[in-house]
Amino acid sequence: MQKLEIKAINTDIQRWLAVAADNVRQHLSEQLQVQTKSGRNDLVTKFDKVTERFFVEQIRQNFPHDKIVSEEGFGDQVHNMQGRVWFIDPIDGTLNFVRQRHNFAMMLALYENGHNVIGYILDVMSGDLLWGGPEIGLYLNEKAITKPDNKKLAAGLFGVNGPMFAYNKENIQEIALASSGARILGSAGLEFYQVVLGRQVGYASRLAPWDFAAGKILAETAGLSVTTIDGRPINMLKSQVVLATTHRAFAEIQKMRQA
């Protein structure tokens, strides 16, 4: 896609995000009707559904030929990355949303023929929006941001998933303890946000496509590495353990895993 076209789409997307976030913030004090999905801590609320449906409607109206991968089932069955593919995570960090009414994100991402186009992570309660892509650069709200330093693992904090850390899945304790310290934020979007802004040296977690699609575009635009935990390319259409980190820390982690 051309830069001009991306800029036009960006204007649309930012407007959708503002509307969706306002809607959630306005109804935040309401009693939530929380449903469980795969287990007692895999939750969904009407806000996940309403927000996803809103984004799906906007995309269908404006870009009827595009495909949509989304968390709550309003999107399409997408079998390949040909053409334009959108990824929607209406409320990322649903547990935080339900338990805290804080520390959750909305995420949107657009790919074309498998290539990064543009990604968005909106910290709904602070209102801060991290967005960008390879053609247009990286922004926090209105401000262009610089790429983070290529730090080594010991020079930064490392975000992990709670159960993976407790059970030491993928030897993730060794990685996190070799960093300055482990952090668990409970939202993939907010973890990618920290990594892209250079506040964490990396993040690893088992994630679904809508959890990592926006973060991958932003992190790669920021010059970071985004792969599976064992260093292979990401498959955009399945769940996997994703590693987003600096290139130096990536090399250290792969060395640790092969040791």
User: Contacting a copy of itself (CB under 8 A), which of 24, 176, 213, 226?
Assistant: 176
For a copy of itself, which stretch binds (CB under 8 A), given 47-55, 163-171, 215-223, 247-255? 163-171
Q: What is the dihedral of CA 76, 27, 38, 204, to 10 degrees?
A: 80
- Report whether 211 belongs to an annotated binding site: yes
Q: Quick check: 130 and 121 in contact, CB under 8 A?
A: yes
- Report whether 92 belongs to an annotated binding site: yes
Any contact of residue 199 with a copy of itself (CB under 8 A)? yes
- Report whether 89 belongs to an annotated binding site: yes
User: Contacting a copy of itself (CB under 8 A), which of 18, 144, 177, 256?
Assistant: 177
Any contact of residue 215 with a copy of itself (CB under 8 A)? no
Question: Measured from the CB atom, is 9 or 34 closer to a copy of itself?
Answer: 34
Alpha-carbon span 152 to 53, nearest angstrom: 41
Any contact of residue 156 with a copy of itself (CB under 8 A)? yes
Residues 6+ apart with CB under 8 A from 40: none
Any contact of residue 202 with a copy of itself (CB under 8 A)? no
Q: CA-based Rg of the chain, rounded to a whole angstrom?
A: 17
Alpha-carbon span 179 to 246, nearest angstrom: 12
Residues contacting a copy of itself: total by CB under 8 A: 33
DSSP summary character for residue 175: H
Alpha-carbon span 217 to 236, nearest angstrom: 11
Any contact of residue 40 with a copy of itself (CB under 8 A)? yes
Strands 105-112, 84-92: pairing is antiparallel
Any contact of residue 155 with a copy of itself (CB under 8 A)? yes
Alpha-carbon span 51 to 23, nearest angstrom: 9
User: Contacting a copy of itself (CB under 8 A), which of 18, 154, 247, 256?
Assistant: 154
- For binding to a copy of itself (CB under 8 A), which residues are involved? 40-41, 95-96, 99-103, 126, 154-157, 162-163, 165-166, 168, 173, 176-177, 180-186, 194, 199-201
